[in-house]
Amino acid sequence: MEPIGNQFLKRALSADSSRQVRLSDVTAVWLTLTALALIAVVGLGVANAADQRYGSWLVTEATDDASVSVAGTFSQTGEILRITCRAPDRCIWMFTSKRRCADNISVDALATSDNGTLYLELACGGAHGNDGYYDLVFKEFGPIDGLVRQGGRVGFAMALKGGEFQVTRFNTDGAAQAAAEAARRAGTGPVPTRGLKDERQ
């Protein structure tokens, strides 16, 4: 089964008519992320009739599992912020980047927006195989969901080794509509309700 992040990336990139994008080669696809930032900004057409854009956000479905829908966007540096929903009632927010992490290791992040700052915890979901990207899952659904749905720009700062930080910014305009559509498609109801910590309680 191909990771949903790769599927999402391929769907978003297939809106580009550039011959430089080789969709069969995941590595080559990841190297075209700068072109993807332009695709998101100019709002080119979507790849499939079922795909839908809301601002810079794309809503699509997993190619190998009709019960999974995803809505996401890309930073200018190629990271992905997305919500993945699976029937009947589970949606999770995820952050995908080249920041290496081991499975289930906790990662702390500071999130900022025009509306304030939040401390968030993420859990490493592992690597995408050989493409060099890793999934991080937000442990609590409510805080990140509320922050992203407010619109505007959201920035995440994550600690790296040696006292340095990785800072990533996303445009969240259209995120509320895209997240609602992903939840509707997956049959999770009008408002996604659970995150990792919620399930453990």
Cross-sheet strand order for the sheet of 134-138: 52-54, 57-62, 65-74, 80-86, 90-97, 134-138, 116-127, 106-113, 153-159, 165-171
Residue with tokens 């749905």: 149
pLDDT on residue 43:
34
pLDDT on residue 121:
94
pLDDT on residue 40:
34
Q: Give the model confidence (pLDDT) of 156-178 as tens digits.
A: 998 877 788 889 999 999 999 99
CA distances from 187 to 45, 66, 79, 145, 183 (A): 25, 11, 27, 18, 6
**Exposed, middle or buried: residue 31 (CB in 10 Å: 0-12, 13-18, 19+)?**
middle
Lowest mean pLDDT, pick from 44-53, 87-96, 130-139: 44-53
pLDDT on residue 29:
29
pLDDT on residue 124:
92
Q: What are the residue ranges spanned by the domains of the chain?
A: 4-189
pLDDT on residue 150:
87
Its CATH architecture, for the domain 4-189, is Sandwich (2.60)
67 or 22: whose pLDDT is higher?
A: 67
**What is the average pLDDT across 94-120?**
89
Q: Give the model confidence (pLDDT) of 19-50 as tens digits.
A: 222 222 222 222 233 233 323 333 333 455 57
**What is the average pLDDT across 107-121?**
90
